[in-house]
């Protein structure tokens, strides 16, 4: 089979998903079973992957699906608990006290608070927390999902305390050969990983500064009564300032401290600066913007989860007490992810795994106590006591949350196993590379020296398939480095382009869209969301690719292996 045919067949499941979800606007619950069967048939016939291996990959996908559903359930339960305790109404009053302007609210909630959650936890948690919170504050459900997906960009490469670099790139790139070459050049692999981390931080910092402006512009264009790309641009100075308030400390930490804390500390710093600036009116425009009245919202904007904005308990809860559960969950996420503390290992001690599934060598495992969902559920029980909730109110919150899982579960039990078949297709009887590598290899063959322009797109493709920056880095870091090696250009920077592109790809990752949609009851509108989030994704991948070309061929940034 020639490389062009390999690439075309490998792309078929992705093209099927794009055609059904975006072209035919088919809901994911109908599209993803068809996409799964497409991947199943191609793996079985063209790649000659055994039935046993495909089934093992599917089982592995079920384990991951459980993890995602647990996170979704935890996020929804926390939100509904806050709704019934009266905290949500107090949080809304608090944001109104900072600003009634929805543009400022979305910058603070999504760009800064969401990025902080990404830095602490990653794995789709920011959208799962921020999207329902925005709905509770009066945002249309579809707007909340769109914005929740855009959160998953700049902060992602250093999300979950640096997991995409420390786990993804390390696992994908490390080899005895590279270590030997680095030793001959007078350095080591850990130093090279820091070099990749530095490049990623600088690329993200430059490109990501405009993301809060993108959030605002797209919110107004798609959900404003004016349907304008330019209406409300008076917020641009504040939006850019808010971008810099995050990206400047983010870059400094990435360059000087390493990959663990750029997103976490950068977002926290920005949150303090921007909230203070908003209260003081610094760069805040005189005009204010809001959505049209809810009675004028389109049906497709609305989710099935009703989150009333009035205080269901009729009590006036202090804003500080209302925010306490979110502070608790953020703190739990941070201390459980810090490698220097014992809590993470304690939570990981409970693992449910299936080693060597069906004799294929494929392994599946879940650590339920370590998942963000478990920490959110723990926070819910703490909230019951600190907010003095009665049992009937909590039971109602639990019932509302439970109903959401069925629709999301049906979609994800096809989406995630399809991803695992795709990734595991490298073990086959046709002696072919895995499907993602086959696609990437064809692109590399036909691009040549301008590869840095396309390297972020390959990272984005991996994230689109896997829904994970970390997994994309595992799949493609060695591949990206090998192409740089053959072109005799800076391999560390090319791997950084991969990592940054993979972060951008999270904005269009199918099962991330499904998961975020589930938290606000918007299942069935995934294609509509993807048609919107592809815009900032293209911006991100294009700008980063151009920056890569400039850094490699004009600035000639140093690399110990490519002097």
Q: What is the pLDDT of residues 278-306, one digit of tens each?
A: 999 999 998 899 999 988 999 889 887 66
CA dist list (Å): 449 to 457, 458, 461, 487, 548: 15, 15, 20, 7, 12
Q: In this predicted model, what pLDDT tens digit does every residue of 134-170 receive, in sequence order?
A: 988 889 999 999 999 999 999 999 987 788 898 788 8
Q: Looking at residues 68-92, what average pLDDT do you find?
A: 81
Q: Which residue has the higher pLDDT, 310 or 325?
A: 325
pLDDT band at 97 (very low <50, low <70, confident <90, very high): confident
Are the C-beta atoms of residues 300 and 142 closer than 8 Å to each other?
Answer: yes
**Ranges of each domain in the chain:** 3-302+309-554
CA distance linking residue 410 with residue 33, whole number of Å: 9
Instruction: Let me know how long the chain is.
Output: 563
Q: Which of 20, 110, 60 is nearest to 364 (CA)?
A: 60
| SS3 annotation, 475-509 | HHHHHHHHHHHHHCCCHHHHHHHHHHHHHHHHHHC
Please provide the average confidence, as pLDDT, over all residues in the chain. 88
* Ramachandran area for residue 427 (φ above 0: left; ψ -120 to 50: alpha; else beta): beta
| Model confidence pLDDT, tens digit, residues 21-34 | 878 878 878 888 99
Q: Name the band, by pLDDT with cuts 50, 70 and 90, for residue 314.
A: low
Residues near 153 by beta carbon (within 8 Å), at least 6 away in sequence: 208, 211, 503, 504, 506, 507, 536, 540
Mean pLDDT of 49-67: 92
Start-to-end CA distance of the chain, whole Å, equals 38
Rounded CA gap, 550 and 553, in Å?
6
Residue 407 has what pLDDT? Answer: 65
Pick left, alpha or beta for residue 469 (phi over 0 → left; psi -120 to 50 → alpha; otherwise beta). Answer: alpha
User: How far apart are alpha carbons 509 and 466 in whole angstroms?
Assistant: 7
Between residues 171 and 390, the one the model is more confident about: 390
Cβ atoms of residues 132 and 76 within 8 Å: yes
- What pLDDT is recorded for position 539? 98
According to DSSP, residue 139 is labeled -
Q: What integer pLDDT is reported at residue 9 of this predicted model?
A: 94
Please say if the pLDDT value at position 75 is more than 80: no
| pLDDT of 504 over the 60 cut | yes
Q: What is the pLDDT of residue 31?
A: 86
Average pLDDT (186-200) is: 94
Q: Tell me the pLDDT tens digit for each residue of 527-541.
A: 899 999 999 999 999
Residue 311 has pLDDT above 50, yes or no: no
Using the predicted structure, report yes or no on whether residue 117 has a pLDDT greater than 90. Answer: no
* pLDDT (tens digit per residue) in 395-432: 988 887 787 677 667 777 888 888 889 888 989 999 99
What's the CA gap between 428 and 434, in Å, rounded?
8
Answer yes or no: is pLDDT of 313 > 70. Answer: no
């Amino acid at each position: 089979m020639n490389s062009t045919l390999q690439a075309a067949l490998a792309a078929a499941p992705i093209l099927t998903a794009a055609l059904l979800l975006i072209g035919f606007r088919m809901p994911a619950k109908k599209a993803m079973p068809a996409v799964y069967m497409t991947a199943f048939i191609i793996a079985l016939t063209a790649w000659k992957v055994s039935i046993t291996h495909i089934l093992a990959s599917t089982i592995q996908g079920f384990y991951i699906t459980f993890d995602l559903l647990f996170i979704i359930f935890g996020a929804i339960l926390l939100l509904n608990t806050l709704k019934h305790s009266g905290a949500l109404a107090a949080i809304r009053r608090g944001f109104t006290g900072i600003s009634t302007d929805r543009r400022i609210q979305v910058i603070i909630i999504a760009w800064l608070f969401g990025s902080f959650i990404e830095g602490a936890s990653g794995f789709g948690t920011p959208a799962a927390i921020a999207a329902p919170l925005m709905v509770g504050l009066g945002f249309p459900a579809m707007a909340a999902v769109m914005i929740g997906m855009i959160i998953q960009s700049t902060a992602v490469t250093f999300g979950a305390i640096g997991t995409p670099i420390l786990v993804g790139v390390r696992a994908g790139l490390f080899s005895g050969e590279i270590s030997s070459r680095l030793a001959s050049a007078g350095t080591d692999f850990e130093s090279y990983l820091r070099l990749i981390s530095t490049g990623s931080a600088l690329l993200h910092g430059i490109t990501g500064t405009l993301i809060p402006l993108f959030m605002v512009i797209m919110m107004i264009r798609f959900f404003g009564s004016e349907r304008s790309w330019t209406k409300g641009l008076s917020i641009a100075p504040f939006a850019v300032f808010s971008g810099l308030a995050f990206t400047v400390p983010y870059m400094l930490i990435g360059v000087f401290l390493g990959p663990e804390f750029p997103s976490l500390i950068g977002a926290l710093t920005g949150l303090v600066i921007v909230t203070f600036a908003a209260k003081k009116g610094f760069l805040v425009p005189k005009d204010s913007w809001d959505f049209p009245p809810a009675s004028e919202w389109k049906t497709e904007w609305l989710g099935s989860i009703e989150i009333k904005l009035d205080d269901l308990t009729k009590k006036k809860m202090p804003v500080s007490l209302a925010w306490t559960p979110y502070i608790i969950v953020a703190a739990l996420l941070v201390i459980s992810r810090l490698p220097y503390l014992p809590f993470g290992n304690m939570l990981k001690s409970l693992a449910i795994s299936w080693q060597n599934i069906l004799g294929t060598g494929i392994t599946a495992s879940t650590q339920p106590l370590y998942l963000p969902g478990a920490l959110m559920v723990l926070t819910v029980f703490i909230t019951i006591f600190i907010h003095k909730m009665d049992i009937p109110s909590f039971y109602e919150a639990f019932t509302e949350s439970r109903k959401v899982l069925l629709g999301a579960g049906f979609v994800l039990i096809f989406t995630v196993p399809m991803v695992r078949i795709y990734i595991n297709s490298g073990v086959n009887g046709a002696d072919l590379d895995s499907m993602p590598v086959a696609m990437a290899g064809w692109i590399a063959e036909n691009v040549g020296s301008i590869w840095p322009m396309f390297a972020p797109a390959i990272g984005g493709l991996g994230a689109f398939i896997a829904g994970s920056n970390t997994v994309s880095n595992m799949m493609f870091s060695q591949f990206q480095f090998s192409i740089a090696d053959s072109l005799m250009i800076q391999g560390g920077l090319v791997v950084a382009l991969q990592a940054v592109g993979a972060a951008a790809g999270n904005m269009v990752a199918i099962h991330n869209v499904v998961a975020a949609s589930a938290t606000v009851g918007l299942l069935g509108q995934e294609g509509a969301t993807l048609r919107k989030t592809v815009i900032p994704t293209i911006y991100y991948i294009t700008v980063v690719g151009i920056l890569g070309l400039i850094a490699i061929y004009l600035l000639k940034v140093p690399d110990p292996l490519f002097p």
